[in-house]
Amino acid sequence: MSGDLERETSELLRDLVRLNTVNPPGNERPAQELLAGMLRDAGFEIDLLGRTDERPNLVARLRGSGDGPTLCLLSHVDTVLADADAWQRDPWSGDVVDGELWGRGAQDMKSQTAAEVAAAVALTRSGWRPAHGELLIVSVVDEETGGDEGAIWLTENHPDAVRCDLLLNEGAGTVFNYGDDRFYGVSVAEKGVFRFEVKTDGVAGHASIPALGQNALLKMVPLLQALGERRTTLDVTDPPLALLAGLGLPVDGDPAGAVATLREADPGLAAVVEAMLGVTFAPTQISASEKINVIPSQARLQVDCRMPPGMAEEQVLGRIHEVLDGHDGYAIEVFETKVGNASPLESPLMDALRGWITREDPQARVVPTMIPAFTDSRTFRAAFPDCVAYGFFPQRKMDLHEMWALVHSHDERIAVADLGFAARCYRDVTKELLGG
Ligand SMILES: [Zn+2]
């Protein structure tokens, strides 16, 4: 029967890819109607809840006979845009070529939507119902532009419809190698965002006689250099410590040393792990004089800063001043923050995922990861503080490096075998956690 599940998941993904949900504008209703119809026929209670008619969120519920946890399989059905000219194939074809299904959303994340829904339908068709607790299938709109009409709107306006104890979402799960070992990451945490502006002041003057002015742009140079070159004291949290331990790197109070060892073997992986261990700064935008012949009296530098979960604003500001220590004549203004967020490293959900990988891919191990970006897990963790939310979509044909090159890029595609792999995972883990 496993072959059936793979085929059904692949056909559903093809149908979803063919429904263009590029956001903006999203236009997710046809995709949500397709999923709602399948889940309704399978015996789920269906709610389509949205701020507007064109963009409903789908909530499908299957109640069990006894008390127990609510398990939510979450995904989003909108995608980023696709520049068809840059693709080798039509981004909305859903074509299967050499065992890979092509199209926008094949990785991020209609594949997971398809696997979650196909698994749920296959379970109920066989007569399964939760023995305890309940199963929720939730597919939201509007993730790619922040979730104002999706996860945020849904958890604020219909919290009772989507309240859950255990949640599986996007964020990790693609296999990667380190040394002779294979690993599947489970995303347990997300870094926060702390975007700020650095301002320097000078005195305007005619550019033909530079010495008569004070150039604010030149005052920015040492600050820019410090932000680019210096490193802050690490702010170490449990997920990267557990990840390093899982990779077999002795941390022993010296995470920087463990990262240095990792860098010798795999610089790319080391860069990712290092970003999990502390506050990072990426200066990305700068502005100064508006005229070529006027020495600027003010310069402004925008910095995209990310911090590990659990850090308060004061602590992050402390790290900024640490990096800029020894310099003066600048001011800091914070203009956008999002807190980092995390779930416990250990839980019945982690046990189930670890057990499943151990059975399916005995050579491999499961490790926790922290992602530097944010997903809808952030919104669910904030709305339901007791909810254990993980990012996990297992893939083993394509590895992490291959996958990252395709997400939000051209020629996005996925191995059909991995669609079956992921759907079996969701089917088996659901049964294990809800019984029946
Ligand atoms: Zn996504």
pLDDT of residue 1 exceeding 60, the answer is: no
* Residues 125-161 pLDDT 10s: 999 999 999 999 999 999 999 999 999 999 999 999 9
Residue 184 alpha carbon to ligand 1 centre in Å: 18
Residue 219 alpha carbon to ligand 1 centre in Å: 40
Tell me if 105 sits within 8 A of 23, measured CB to CB: no
Tell me if 234 sits within 8 A of 273, measured CB to CB: no
pLDDT score, position 253: 86
Confidence label for 252 from pLDDT (cuts 50, 70 and 90): confident
State pTM to two decimals: 0.93
Distance between first and last Cα of the chain: 19
% the chain with pLDDT above 90: 96
Residue 76 alpha carbon to ligand 1 centre in Å: 7
pLDDT score, position 77: 98
Residue 366 CB contacts under 8 Å (≥ 6 apart), including other chains: 183, 184, 185, 186, 246, 350, 353, 354, 357, 358
Looking from the CA of 155 toward its CB, the CA atoms found within 13 Å total 19
Tell me if 204 sits within 8 A of 296, measured CB to CB: yes
* Residues 180-226 pLDDT 10s: 999 999 999 999 999 999 999 999 999 999 999 999 999 999 999 99
pLDDT of residue 244 exceeding 80, the answer is: yes
pLDDT score, position 373: 87
Please state the φ and ψ torsions of residue 221, each to the nearest 5 degrees: -55, -50
Residue 333 alpha carbon to ligand 1 centre in Å: 30
Residue 322 alpha carbon to ligand 1 centre in Å: 34
Q: Where are the beta strands (DSSP E) in 43-180?
A: 45-49, 57-63, 66-76, 96-97, 100-102, 132-140, 166-169, 175-178
Q: How far apart are CA 119 and CA 425, in angstroms?
A: 8
SS3 397: coil
Active-site residue (options: 28, 78, 144, 149): 78
Q: How far apart are CA 139 and CA 301, in angstroms?
A: 38
What distances in angstroms separate CA 175 from CA 57, 178, 255, one per listed residue? 30, 10, 23
> In which residue are the tokens 């659901």 written?
430
User: What stretch of H or E contains 284?
Assistant: strand 280-287
Confidence label for 292 from pLDDT (cuts 50, 70 and 90): very high
Residue 383 CB contacts under 8 Å (≥ 6 apart), including other chains: 155, 156, 159, 162, 163
Q: How far apart are CA 177 and CA 183, in angstroms?
A: 6
Residue 24 alpha carbon to ligand 1 centre in Å: 14
pLDDT of residue 301 exceeding 70, the answer is: yes
Q: How far apart are CA 71 and CA 60, in angstroms?
A: 12
What does the pLDDT average to over 344-352? 98
What distances in angstroms separate CA 185 from CA 41, 174, 221, 372, 412, one per listed residue? 34, 7, 39, 14, 21
What does the pLDDT average to over 276-302? 97
pLDDT of residue 339 exceeding 70, the answer is: yes
pLDDT score, position 281: 97
Residue 8 alpha carbon to ligand 1 centre in Å: 22
Answer yes or no: 78 catalytic. yes
* Residues 73-116 pLDDT 10s: 999 999 999 999 999 999 999 999 999 999 999 999 999 999 99
What does the pLDDT average to over 292-309? 97
What does the pLDDT average to over 350-372? 97
Q: Where are the alpha helices (DSSP H) in 23-109?
A: 29-41
pLDDT score, position 250: 77
Q: Where are the alpha helices (DSSP H) in 338-386?
A: 348-360, 377-383
Tell me if 106 sits within 8 A of 412, measured CB to CB: yes
> In which residue are the tokens 């800091």 written?
332
Averaged pLDDT of the chain: 96
Residue 141 alpha carbon to ligand 1 centre in Å: 11
pLDDT score, position 2: 58
* Residues 366-386 pLDDT 10s: 999 999 888 999 999 999 999
Helix axes 110-125, 2-18, angle to 10 degrees: 140
Active-site residue (options: 8, 134, 142, 143): 143
Tell me if 213 sits within 8 A of 204, measured CB to CB: yes
pLDDT score, position 436: 80
Answer yes or no: 33 catalytic. no
Residue 376 alpha carbon to ligand 1 centre in Å: 9
pLDDT score, position 251: 86
Q: How far apart are CA 376 and CA 142, in angstroms?
A: 10
